[in-house]
Amino acid sequence: MENNKVLLSVENHVGVITLNRPEAANSLDLQMAKELMDVAIFCSESETIRAVVITGAGNKFSVGGDLKSFAQEGDEISSHLKSVTFYLHQAISLFARMNKPFIGAVNGVAAGAGMSLACACDLVYASEKSKFVMAYNKIGLTPDGSGSYFLPRLVGMRRALELMYTNRQLTANEAFEWGIVNQVVSDENLMEVVLSIAEQLAKGPMNAYGATKKLFYHSLQETLESQMSKESLLLASRASSKEGKEGISAFLEKREANFLE
């Protein structure tokens, strides 16, 4: 894939996406949004990739939208932002809907759309130097990149609005306490830890991960009874699937399941 602003490498069934504009703090412009969507399509369709990690080049994850490039559009800024968010939102939708675990390795500041992107990950690991800030309301804007969807679900409505209204910046440890981050890791060990987790998940039952993700994400739209009905149908389906049969057999035979074949 001939991308420059978004890089993709694949090893041990793990796709590692790197936001690659370190000279601009990995801020998101139209080209980066397009490339991110292309990479998302590739990752979601690839039979080789079974887990996906996203991180930023240099010492920042992403500071969000490239306001300088947006402002240069002048009176066309509204239509330009619709294009940027179209590609960004398609990418996030693909990441959120794919069966493969989507893991954030936040290696520095995650602001605006950068924080929204981190919130859209299934799991998030952050370096001790990372910081999280929504940043939108401070400049008179509203969130994009799924921030208004995932953030209230992660921290609750009042805390989400506090982060928006006050532009409060969270340290890595505060983000962990608020449930935005799964674990805080030293800066030098971040990628080692994340890749170890991703490689382990890549050996697991990818379709079961995807079904579980769908159950969790849809649960807030369901009643207790309708959600349990979905659980029943999916569980029965999974038990008769190739993964389910292998998992049950491995358990009964007291061996490690092999989900890669």
In this structure, are strands 183-185 and 123-127 parallel, antiparallel, or unpaired? parallel
- List, by residue number, the catalytic residues: 89, 144
Taking CB atoms within 8 Å and a gap of at least 24, the contacts of 168-177 are 168/133, 169/131, 169/132, 169/133, 170/131, 170/132, 170/133, 171/130, 171/131, 172/106, 172/126, 172/127, 172/128, 172/129, 172/130, 172/131, 172/132, 173/128, 174/132, 175/126, 175/130, 175/132, 176/126
Using an 8 Å Cβ cutoff, are 257 and 203 in contact? no
